[in-house]
Amino acid sequence: MNKKELRNDSHIPAYLEKARAVFCVLQARRAAG
């Protein structure tokens, strides 16, 4: 719970972090094939 609270206080919202992770995966797939 503490980690989530800290993340919410961060300048990067959770949904942006999630979108960034998805983007990274897509980029990796692109590079791979």
Q: Is 13 helix (H, G, I), strand (E, B) or coil?
A: coil
Instruction: Output the pTM of the full model.
Output: 0.52
* Domain, as residue range, for 25: 2-32
Region 4-20 average pLDDT = 75
8, 14 contact by CB (below 8 A): yes
Q: pLDDT-derived band of residue 2, with 50, 70 and 90 as boundaries?
A: low
Counting the structural domains of the chain, the total is 1
Distances, alpha carbon 11 to alpha carbons 4, 16, 26, 32, in Å: 13, 10, 24, 31
